[in-house]
Amino acid sequence: MNVSDSERIARSLAPLGYVPALSADQADLVVVNTCSVRAKAEQKAFSLLGQLAAVKVRRPELVVVVAGCVAQQEGERIRERAPHVDLVLGTRAVHRLGALLMRLRTHSRTLVDVGMDEPPDEPVETPGAADRNGVSRFVTVMRGCDNFCAYCVVPYVRGREISRSPEAILHEIRGLCAAGVREVTLLGQNVNSYGAKEGICSFAQLLEQVNTVKDLARIRFTTSHPKDLTAELIRSFASLEKLCAHIHLPVQSGSNRVLACMNRRYTREHYLDNVAKLRNSHRQISVTSDIIVGFPGETRTDFEATLGLMQQVEFDSVFAFMYSDRPNTPARLLSDKVPEREKRERLHAVLALQDGITAAKHQSLVGSVQEVLAEGFSKRPAAAGAAEGFGQQWTGRTRGNKIVHFFDAGSDANADFIRPGRLVQVRIERALAHSLWGRLERDPAGP
């Protein structure tokens, strides 16, 4: 969501004449888009703001904007820690950025806009140069969250759930496809509850409609809450040909006791049952997850239950984090905090276990042919010896969301064949720690 917001901010600045600068030293305007999901991310944001204070001393005309969840959370208080900030832009004020920049011209104090009165369907912007690539785009389908997990700051900084209408979403996707986009990732804090509050339609029904969009090749979505994963949505993986076989399903802990303290409202057994149903629906589905280690009161036995669940599920990858207290959350008031050193050790154990599982998963794909959506030239250096006799190295993702670096097999015909947005078949030849390497399977000029 944060990456998507950054893209949105960049797009809204383009019509005002802004273009990306190479560094803060050369910029007229710097927007620090912040995340407050963990204490460390927030500290980094304030550290960057400290560096910008020095730039602003040299060039007082520089405009400094703080956006995102820290902006929403701190509001006026940002001024106390960073008096050089010109504008505090809350999570639901992005569409007011242009007007606020205009107001700044005649305003001598920091402007603060943390209002939550965002319309669900703001005007659609067209893809811009600041986006990740011209092939794949995020499309927000809902904002906010009503779940109030005990550790999570999101409901406080992004507000209550609000869903966009299917018409607006489809209109946006059609516009993106007309501009060359081939893959969309439908975004929401908990997409499974899309439309429930408004009585619009289920998320699975929205996917069905998106699946009909001409020229769209792939659909992804994130994030799903395990308690709201419906049988209808699970069936979509089998029935919708454009829906990629990947689900990010944050488990957070393998201990029922910890899950209850986290207010996650599902059990380990329910989660495992969901995974089994997903794999029954689509044999090759990739399942990725989030894990928090060191939630207050997490015992060694609780932690081992998490490791046990990871071994049982064999996730394709996980994002693992050490618990940290966040403002307003109930968990910060819990007294039985896990020492930092213990949290670090648990995090290392999770990452080491997952590295082994991911390596085995990657290795099992060697020799297989995968459909890859070509995104562009790869920035990664070619694997040793791999580039000999071949052309440019490309990058893309499999349907299971694995990054693949691949070569065009040295054929001139292929040079024209591969272009960003094309679905190609790649034979996987090597498993790397975080990606795969392969080469284009067939010469398109051949039989």
CB nearer to ligand SF4: pick between 36 and 378: 36
Q: Closest approach of Cβ 189 to ligand SF4, in Å? A: 4
SS3 category, 73: helix
Q: Going by C-beta distance under 8 Å and a sequence separation of 6 or more, which residues neighbour residue 169?
A: 139, 141, 186, 206, 210
CB 16 within 8 A of CB 99: no
For 318, the enclosing helix (H) or strand (E) is strand 317-322
Q: From residue 9, give the alpha-carbon distance in Å to each of 12, 27, 66.
A: 5, 15, 12
Q: How far is the CB of 38 from ligand SF4 (least distance, A)?
A: 12
Q: Are 220 and 203 in contact (CB under 8 A)?
A: no
Which one, 159 or 421, has the nearer CB to ligand SF4?
A: 159
Closer Cβ to ligand SF4, 62 or 293, answer by number = 293
**Residues forming a β-bridge with 287:** 247
φ, ψ of residue 185 to 5 degrees: the values are: -110, 115
Contact 270, 229 (CB under 8 A): no
Measured from the CB atom, the residue of 37 and 101 that comes closer to ligand SF4 is: 37
Cβ closer to ligand SF4: 190 or 358? 190
Contact 133, 421 (CB under 8 A): no
Tokens of 85: 């900030």
Structure tokens at 297: 């009161």
Residues 6 or more apart whose Cβ sits within 8 Å of residue 136: 181, 182, 183, 184, 185, 373, 375
Complex with ligand SF4: residue 94 or 152, whichever CB lies closer? 152
Nearer Cβ to ligand SF4 (152/244):
152
Of 259 and 404, which CB lies nearer to ligand SF4 in the complex structure? 259
CB atoms within 10 A of CB 354: 21
DSSP-derived secondary structure for 268-295: HHHHHHHHHHHHHH-TT-EEEEEEEE--
Of 12 and 253, nearer to ligand SF4 (C-beta) is: 253
Minimum distance between the CB of residue 371 and ligand SF4, rounded to whole angstroms? 31
Residue whose pair of structure tokens reads 């097999």 in the numeric block:
409
Q: What is the spatial distance between Cα 96 and Cα 156, in angstroms, rounded to a whole number?
A: 20
CB 129 within 8 Å of CB 171: no
* Shortest distance, position 144 Cβ to ligand SF4, whole Å: 9
Q: Which is nearer to ligand SF4, 227 or 257 (CB)?
A: 227
Least separation, in Å, of the C-beta of 264 and ligand SF4? Answer: 7
Q: Which residues of the shown chain bind ligand SF4 in the complex (CB under 6 A)?
A: 145, 147-149, 152, 154-155, 189-190, 225
Report, in Å, the least distance between residue 412 CB and ligand SF4: 49
d(CA 382, CA 360): 22
Nearer to ligand SF4, 148 or 377 (CB): 148
Least distance (Å) from ligand SF4 to the CB of residue 154? 4
DSSP state of 67: E
In terms of DSSP H, where are the helices of 240-368?
Answer: 256-261, 268-281, 300-313, 340-364
**CB-based contact 191:147 (threshold 8 Å):** no
What are the φ/ψ torsions at residue 23 (nearest 5 degrees)? Answer: -155, 165
Q: How far is the CB of 401 from ligand SF4 (least distance, A)?
A: 19
